[in-house]
Chain A
Amino acid sequence: MNANDLLLWLSARRSGSWPQFRGGVVAFAGDDDSESEDRFPLHQQIRLDLQRLAHVEFFARECESGWRVAPPVLALSGSGEACLGILCGARSDGLLDRFKVAATGMELNAIELPSGPTVLTVRSNQERDLSRLAADSQIAFQKDAPLAILSRLPVVSPPRRGQVANEFPEGADWKIEEFDTVTFGWGALQRREASRRRTGLFRFTIHFQPPRHFLRWDGITYEVPRAIGIYTLLRRRRKQVLEYDRSRKTLRIPAGCRPMHLVERGLVLCSGLPPSFDPGSIALRYTQVPEDTASLAAQILLQEIR
């Protein structure tokens, strides 16, 4: 597993298709054996890490069917005496050399991830030092990255009046599941039952296709992104799922309710670390999240932090 080489490869190629990315994962990170064992596929895990650490954009504008590497940025989190700079975006050997030389005298940390590229962070008491580091490394500088990203995101909202309704996909091959707001898991059900539901979120999967999510809202069906559907439904059921530990500055979210990737990016850029999975409570734990950032993320998700 060498996600660093994968990131160098992605950076040199700049953009590509999804199959090319999968081919790159196999070439640099090894064969993906997780699919056969009903686990989260390795290439999806790597994709998530690259996406939330702001290295690569997937399926975004100008790379709708694939990926494109983001330009290198030193993303700043925190302020005052606790400034943390995280190296995000594209990498090259030359860039890494410049960055390490420019960071001489600062607290440079390299954190190895199980399924992502090494996280390079720099701590400094002065924001100005990190700004100079970015300039010396010839990369962009982003102040208050978590807040800047989160404050630009739209709030999850239920379907509007006049929004175009959709229909469940036809065909007997589709596997249909319903989201359970108690267990935060998906349970199978029949198409007829799904059609009868007045409110609910349904996942339609068919082999080798990305799943499609449909929200039944007052008897009308809308196709929505997964996280939007989940948090809209949780709001309707008045379920608060975000837990914030003020003493440890950690935000805990049930694994089944993983938020949109840009919200995740805002939370991950607080520490530079992807969320850790707590198998006991089946939850994702985001560390070093300031309270105002956690509160902002919760508002975007129509939640309140407990």
Chain B
Amino acid sequence: MNYVLMIRLRIVSRPLFRLLRWLFPKRNGGKSYGRMAENPVAPGEKSALKAGENLPIPIPVKETQEDMPQSATVSVPSIVDELASVAAASADATHQFRAEKIQPLPEAAIEIKNDIAVEGSIGGATGMPATGEAAHLLQSSDGRDNFELPQAGSAPNPPADESPVTAVAFPEQRIAEGRGIGLEIETLLEPQQTALNSEADEGEASIVNRIEADHVEVLNRSGSPEDVIQPMGGTAVELRPVDEGVTNQESRAASRPPEQVSSYPGLKPPRPAKQTRARSGDEPRVRKAVFSSVESEARLRIHLVFNNRGDAIRALTLLPDRRDEMPDELEVAGTQGTFFFSRFRDDAYESIRLPDAGAALLGGVEWRGKEAVNQSLRWVLRGREVYVLAPGPLIADLGGFVSVPRLLLNEENLVLARKTVRVDVVSALAAAGCDPTVIDDPTLGVPSDWLLFKGVKPSRALPMRDEQDVFNALCPLTDIEPHFEGGIKLARQTWLAGHPPEIRFTGAIDDSFRAKIDGKDAELTEHGYLAGGWDGEGAHELWYADKIARYTIRRCAEDWTAWDAYGFGAGALICGAQVLPASGGQRRQVRVPRQNSILIGAEPGQIFNTHPRPDLRLKDLVAMPPFDPVWSVPSNPAHLDKKIARVVTVGEIKPVVKIRTRGLGRTERGRIAAWCSAILDAGRKGLLIEGENTQAAPAWREYRVEAKRLKRSMR
């Protein structure tokens, strides 16, 4: 009695409940707001906290005096305090920062790849290190690391003297193995920028928060200096071994544990005693590197693209640099108006077109973040009368031409110059061995009052002029730098197997120039420098001009997996061209006529209703049953015209599986009963079997017999 009452109550309550749900639908899609409490920090709060944690220490830039003696060690007191805060806690005497302010270099943001730790210590007059804290490293999403300095107050023993400071970089993991050297140090700095002073530098931002050091030594465990140079797609800062004559090698060697002998054999020949860079007699030696973390300023590079015919400028834009900590999108404002920056790559925003490019190039550009949170960000292009642009693929993995500080030797450059300095530019280019074509037609896209020199391919290196001379940009450097062009680049210095880069060099390359790849002599071909196995899978070392660059070739791992990219509640998921069952089981897709929506398998109980969609008039149905179907039968054969309706063979005809019904559960018995009914109903109607398979008719009879037997046994 109670049972009957319950059923009646359910019958009454269900429509009532549906009515109530219709009248008072769930808000927010029925989702609970409770999950919000799981994240105690709002996104904005989190990012603000991170910014605060990584607050850099502003370090004033020391101006270089022109009368600074050559090769003299000059202490830099202003940065001593800062280096004290990053001084190494390690007592290892080999890990030191040393700043020898001899000659200025343009500022650059040095980035360190892999797990390179940087430690600093303050040395006394004898070069002995003091203790301090290790510098932080920020691991960015794209695998780039930036130096990060701790808070100023964290310096344990700020030194009061003006001792020389040495910077040392080495990889943590290598050190753990006891044979570490600094592997890869990358920089945004263009290679040829290293000899320019910061004032003459093109578009470079004056980085406020930085540490200056003349040298960054990369030492192995035993303290031996390594001259590791790591370019980043053709851009690198030189990290050279400390000159034995001007550093504290002796004192360092004295404090070195004798048993710690470098185990790194090195592929390169013995290093020459002198630097490879050519210096004029009066020109002081220059080594300055700037570690930057959260720089508030970044550079703007000029990006010039010709039209398809190459006879006119299609686009002359400014390419703002982007760093890891910068937002993907922001609004900036400056004298040229308001612009919107949108992330183009990890290291750059979308190019910005200027309404009056000529005036901007001459007067310079300074844009600052418009919103309060971005106001500390600044992009600067210093105005000048001469700009040098080098091939984009060589410099920045971009088409067209991108501005660089100085002409690249033996490469086709462009020069944008004011008409007023035409004579000077022509003579400077002639001195460099160039015979360019001059375009001054504003209709071809050249800014008014400006000239474009095409076909600038310098063949001679020139010494720098006066430090402030704007025409220093037209003095090509002799430095030999490697460039990895083309190929399919997967990550920094990593290419896809089968699509390696072409290795080329710029600089003063003569007949005596030699390059080796993995210890084998490389030969110059039309596809760059090649050596046996240079494009094989794995890590490779390129030796050239007493330097080493590394690159990796990686095979594509074919481990792609399907996922539920699209699902519309129709029991299936779409991923690419695949349609997968939402249940995640094995996929067996069959196509059956619309009226034959019941699929039957060889095992009793294997029955699947495809449920045709009421909103679509489909001729055929695509079903994904969880078993291999053998037959498809109409869902209601009693009401069909038996002249039209058919039993259709779906897959391979399999003999029916004989089973026993004793001991089966209620659900299984229900499925078997449905399986039997579908077969017997179709048989009772006398439906014909579609298809010409001669095995079909006897097999269908066998299924009917088995269905009858099972139905009887389950009574």
Contact = CB atoms under 8 A, between A and B. Distances in A.
Contact of B399 (A30, A69, A95): A30
B620 A152 contact: no
A211 interface: no
A27 B558 contact: no
A140 B340 CA distance: 44
B345 A23 contact: yes
Contact of A69 (B350, B497, B554, B560): B560
Interface string A11-30: 11110000110110011101
Given A55-B576, A70-B576, A70-B578, A5 B488 contact: yes
Residue among B499, B564, B576, B618 with the highest chain A CB neighbour number at 10 A: B576
A292 B560 contact: no
B314 A33 contact: yes
A228 B188 CA distance: 46
B574 A154 contact: no
A61 B563 contact: yes
* From A22, A95, A147, residue with most partner B Cβ within 10 Å: A147
Interface stretch (B123-131, B168-176, B413-421, B609-617): B609-617
A90 B560 contact: yes
A234 interface: no
A60 B578 CA distance: 14
A5 B490 CA distance: 12
A252 interface: no
Given A12-B488, A70-B577, A57 B565 contact: yes
B399 A269 contact: no
Contacts of B350: 208
Interface residues of B, number: 59
A72 B679 CA distance: 39
Interface string A27-48: 1101101001000000000000
Q: Determine the main DSSP class of A at the interface with B.
A: mixed
Contacts of A11: 556, 560
Contact of B576 (A5, A36, A54, A295): A54
A62 B591 contact: no
Given A89-B576, A143-B591, A151 B621 contact: yes
Contact of B560 (A72, A94, A143, A269): A72
Contacts of A147: 591, 620, 622
Nearest to A261: B566
A86 B577 CA distance: 9
Contact of A73 (B344, B554, B556, B578): B578
A140 B578 CA distance: 8
A184 to B, nearest CB: 25
A165 interface: no
Contacts of A265: 577
Nearest to B349: A19
Nearest to A58: B565
A32 to B, nearest CB: 9
Contacts of B397: 23, 27
A8 B489 CA distance: 10
Contacts of B498: 93
A147 B622 CA distance: 7
A106 interface: no
A147 B315 CA distance: 46
B638 interface: no
Interface string A134-150: 00001010111101110
Of B350, B499, B564, B565, most A-chain CB atoms within 10 Å: B565
A171 interface: no
B16 interface: no
B576 A8 contact: no
Given A71-B561, A140-B578, A147-B591, A26 B328 contact: no
B653 interface: no
A71 B560 contact: yes
A224 interface: no
B577 A145 contact: yes
A159 to B, nearest CB: 14
Interface string B560-574: 111111111011101
A9 interface: yes
B579 A71 contact: no
Contacts of A36: 314-315
Interface string B338-355: 001011111000100000
A20 B577 contact: no
A296 B616 contact: yes
Contacts of A23: 344-346, 397
Nearest to A71: B560
A95 B558 contact: yes
Contacts of B562: 70-71, 140
B589 interface: yes
A144 B591 contact: yes
A19 B25 CA distance: 40
A152 B572 contact: yes
B613 A148 contact: no
Contacts of A242: none
Contacts of B563: 61-62, 68
Contact of A8 (B344, B400, B496, B613): B496
Contacts of A94: 555-556, 558
Contact of B488 (A8, A22, A138, A207): A8
B427 to A, nearest CB: 33
B556 A151 contact: no
Contact of A54 (B25, B561, B577, B619): B577
B345 A61 contact: no
A172 to B, nearest CB: 14
Contacts of A267: none
29 contacts: A5-B499, A9-B489, A12-B490, A23-B346, A26-B398, A31-B399, A33-B308, A55-B576, A57-B575, A61-B563, A61-B564, A68-B563, A68-B565, A70-B562, A70-B565, A71-B560, A71-B562, A72-B560, A75-B577, A149-B577, A151-B570, A151-B622, A154-B570, A162-B25, A207-B340, A269-B577, A292-B619, A292-B620, A300-B616
Interface of B: 25, 305, 307-308, 314-315, 328-329, 340, 342-346, 350, 397-400, 488-490, 496-499, 554-556, 558, 560-568, 570-572, 574-579, 589, 591, 613, 615-622
A-B CB proximity, top 9 nearest: A70-B576, A75-B577, A54-B577, A23-B345, A60-B565, A71-B560, A88-B577, A92-B556, A148-B579
